[in-house]
Structure 1
Amino acid sequence: MSALAKGRMSVAAGCVGIAQAALDAAVRYAGEREQFGKPIARHQLVQELLSDIAVDVDAARLLTWRVADLIDRGQEFATAASKAKLYASEAAVRCANNALQVFGGYGYIDEYPVGKLLRDARVMTLYEGTSQIQKLIIGRALTGVSAF
């Protein structure tokens, strides 16, 4: 189980990178793209999308760091790794999707990175156990009852 749990932490870390890249791209684009004579970053709902991405990035990063800390201290980390993998992979999908919303139609063309980020994020929900498997692992740790 240790190898799988470490793999889950690695997937979570990769998801943090995808989510951060989505945030960076969306913030940059929102500052550059103008509509109605002002940068779209000045629109309230664009700022909401950006803040949602930023919160997800921070939360995913902190869950992943927690797993790394548990490993460094020689403590049990399998359940924490499942939590980090579950949250970070789902967050990466949300972040990439929200970034695509910021980009609008341009998010679908290859000139911009967010379409690829969304594809990359989605597959991360499958590596090292699907999101549903992570939920079963977490549920078993909470209840002591296996649902497998």
Structure 2
Amino acid sequence: MGCSSPESSGSSSGTDKSPETEQVEEVVEEAPEPVSLEGEWKQTNSDDPEHWQKATITADTIEVFWVADAGDTEALYWAGSVEVPAEGESSSFDSVNDTTKTKSALLASSDETKTFTYEGGELSYDVTVQGVTTTVRLGQE
């Protein structure tokens, strides 16, 4: 007569792995999302609720306007090119002035180029009026 111990009577000793316990977590690296600047943008750091700047961006152009009278008055400040960053949270591009649009606009910048910075969902650029330079910050609407 053979003796059988409880451990050898068919119970698992913990070394057998079932499909439920042997799941392998698959790590999938997501490709960075391409940045889209297209659309309407509004100044987020204006101290005056009646006056701000806004921008309209298409695939390859940007137009920036001075806005006054709580939106009733607009004047062109900048019209130029856009180089959309391929991906990432931050980048800068130099926009080339479209002088066919800005040369007759009284409040438009006469700069040949303007540097725009995109970082963390915000678009920013410097504006100089009467010797005072301010950084304008825009958020997408």
TM bucket (normalised to shorter chain) is under 0.3
Higher percent of residues as strand: 2
Normalised by the length of structure 2, the TM-score is 0.22
Q: What TM-score, normalized to structure 1?
A: 0.21
Structure number having the greater helix percentage: 1
Q: Which one scores higher on RCO, CA 8 angstroms, separation ≥ 6?
A: 1
